[in-house]
Amino acid sequence: MDVELRIMKNSTKIQLGQNGPFVSRLGLGCMRMSSIWGGSTPDETESIATIQEALDRGINFLNTGDFYGAGHNEMLIGKAIKGRRDDAFISVKFGAVFHNGQPVGMDLRPIAIRNFIHYSLTRLGVETIDLYEPSRMDNSVPVEDIIGTVADLIKEGKVRYIGVSEITADQLRKANDTHPISALEIGYSLADRQIESELLPTAKELGIGIVAFANTAEGLLTGEMKAPLRVNDYRNHFSRFQGDNLLHNLEKVEVLKQLAGDKGCTPTQVAIAWVKAQGDHIMPLVSMSRRSRLPENIAAMDIVFTPEEMNTLNTTFAPGAILGGTYLQR
């Protein structure tokens, strides 16, 4: 049975693209199940159990990158889905090049893409990747050449659908003109709304689904962050989390915490629910590495806002209200 035709158990479905697949409305980001930014690798047994329980609960969209943990993430997913391939819809990003755990550039040449795909298929233990997408466009290779190469992989049966990530509106149009794009993966949250001006409207016009990651803005919107951050916290590199910027931003988060408390939920749930509420074509992609996070994040998908609550959130977190940038800034 095709993965997109399976009935979701505890999650509504979303169609990625006008003629694309139906997948769970909540996506599971697997990145944090591997070493990131040179950190330690979480417990593999718990990570595999998290993926399997997510599948049991109807979350079938699994997001990874071939550079997450130098291939570790794909191998982990491969172990988790062994014997239940039809339960999972696998999204893989490619193109980023890392050395010693740090990004050093992009390789989007057609010859490199044709190399990357075979490593990913082997590590995942599958014959076809459901959604394959360049992780970013850096203008080193024409958009038409990148997307055209992935379209060739569709003809070869190695890929089902094409996605893109970290892209401009102009690049998105070029990509979609080359081959229908099913999904745009992009950072989107109450704190990061810059894509609303041009990129989101373009995707909606073209009928492209949105896979929205970083819903809590690197933890800012969880309500658990305190100033100053620990000295070894990777977020200290970003101006958003430095000095007066962080103090200002945490004042905004107090409003989020108050609203969440009044609704009997957590700030994280409100942040996820707000992303979902921005459109039927938008999927919140939530990173998890522990089963204990699943119930809270799944419950967030049922939260609805009154007009007054939505106005409070949109006013408090109006574009530009959060000071400083992260790597998500465009």
Q: Write out the catalytic residue numbers.
A: 68
Please state the three-class secondary structure of the chain as a single string. Answer: CCHHHCCCCCCCEEECCCCCCEEECCEEECHHHCCCCCCCCCCHHHHHHHHHHHHHCCCCEEEEECCHHHHHHHHHHHHHHCCCHHHCEEEEEECEEEECCEEEEECCCHHHHHHHHHHHHHHHCCCCEEEEEECCCCCCCCHHHHHHHHHHHHHCCCEEEEEEECCCHHHHHHHHHHCCCCEEEEECECCECHHHCCHHHHHHHHCCEEEEECCCCCCHHHCCCCCCCCCCCHHHHCHHHCHHHHHHHHHHHHHHHHHHHHHCCCHHHHHHHHHHCCCCCEEEEEECCCHHHHHHHHHHHHCCCCHHHHHHHHHHCCCCCCCCCCCCCC
